[in-house]
Amino acid sequence: PCSPRQLPKEVVLKLYRTMTLLNTMDRILYESQRQGRISFYMTNYGEEGTHVGSAAALDDTDLVFGQYREAGVLMYRGYPLDLFMAQCYGNTSDTGKGRQMPVHYGCRDRHFVTISSPLATQIPQAVGAAYAIKRADANRAVICYFGEGAASEGDAHAGFNFAATLECPIVFFCRNNGYAISTPTSEQYRGDGIAARGPGYGLLSIRVDGNDVFAVYNATKEARRRAVAENQPFLIEAMTYRYGGEGSEVGAPQKPTFLRVLVVFSPLRGSIGHHSTSDDSSAYRSVDEVNYWDKQDHPISRLRHYMLGRGWWDEEEEKGWRKSSRKMV
């Protein structure tokens, strides 16, 4: 595995800037939906580390099958902000010409397959693509993202079984954020999570701290290597949480000053990290629970502390980047 100290400064800075830019985009588009400007939105609060940590470990030609919370993977690959906006607004610049719901991104040039709404349908599709890549001897991998709730779908069973028996070069990446919309993991399954299912199918499996971007990077890097070199499908379970937006005091009253919103990102009830704009997560989890996780273990805060310790970042750079990233969005 690669030690964090072995990753060059420019890579770590790209990780951080992508995570925080995604956080900024989420806030603004969430507000846009609440203002009636777009019909729907899903934030990525708290799961930014799973996006960029895995994206950094992939080859740019590896094929990505996302669920609906992987915008950071596409952003890390350089997808323009203008096209994120065009897709969510469904305007004439949208490459899908408004045929899809918001957040259902896709980009052929960046090897990112267009997202579908039905849960887990991408899993057997990804296995089929991986099998085609194997037959073509293309020296590429497929990565397929899904949540722990989607892992309860029949398509997950079919995909895992086909991948193992056909020996496909695929990485299954499960984001376990503790809730399938409103259903906690304690009511979803009785076994030891998702990674424990892998050996029964013949999949190599690992469980990692999804809030540690370096742990995610290492796990994905090794999984991809095994998938390509050995045609060994690999299952990663990244443990994370649907937090509030980084740096927020969820549920606490905030003064609506321009400075606080612009620099500190300490704003809205929307930052609690609902499943989508159609969800109110306060109905099934407490504000205290969200605040606890937000303060203790947020992936952006953890990476920033590391960068501060290395002398690669300071408070002035933080303020400047927050301001410029908001202006970009």
pLDDT tens digits along 151-210 = 999 999 999 999 999 999 999 999 998 877 677 777 788 889 999 999 999 999 999 999
User: What share of the chain in percent tops pLDDT 70?
Assistant: 83
What is the pLDDT averaged over residues 77-82? Answer: 98
Q: Which runs of E-coded beta strand occur in the chain?
A: 63-65, 112-113, 142-147, 170-176, 179-180, 183-184, 204-209, 234-239
- Residue 219 phi/psi, 5-degree rounding, is -65, -45
Whether the CB-CB separation of 140 and 61 falls below 8 Å is answered with yes
The CA distances from residue 13 to 45, 53, 60, 72, 309, in Å, are 19, 12, 18, 15, 13
In this prediction the pTM is: 0.86
Q: Is 237 helix (H, G, I), strand (E, B) or coil?
A: strand
Confirm whether 95 is domain-assigned.
Answer: no
276: annotated active-site residue: yes
39, 93, 117, 278: which one is catalytic? Answer: 117
Give residue-wise pLDDT tens across range 214-243: 999 999 999 999 999 999 999 999 998 866
Confirm whether 319 is domain-assigned.
Answer: yes
First vs last C-alpha separation in the chain: 35
Give residue-wise pLDDT tens across range 114-145: 999 999 999 999 999 999 999 999 999 999 99
Residue with the larger pLDDT of the pair 135 and 247: 135
Confirm whether 296 is domain-assigned.
Answer: yes
51, 104, 111, 275: which one is catalytic? Answer: 275
Confirm whether 304 is domain-assigned.
Answer: yes
**Structural domain harbouring 303:** 9-80+113-243+267-328
For residue 173, give the nearest of 16, 57, 24 by alpha carbon.
57
Confirm whether 259 is domain-assigned.
Answer: no
The CA distances from residue 43 to 12, 116, 175, 235, in Å, are 23, 17, 14, 24
Q: What is the CATH number of the domain that holds 279?
A: 3.40.50.970
pLDDT above 50 for 247: no
Give residue-wise pLDDT tens across range 38-76: 999 999 988 999 999 999 999 999 999 999 889 999 999
Distance CA 17, CA 103 (A): 20
Confirm whether 178 is domain-assigned.
Answer: yes
32, 116, 182, 276: which one is catalytic? Answer: 276
275: annotated active-site residue: yes
| Domains held by the chain: number | 1
Confirm whether 102 is domain-assigned.
Answer: no
Mean pLDDT of the chain: 87
Confirm whether 91 is domain-assigned.
Answer: no
pLDDT score for 184? 79
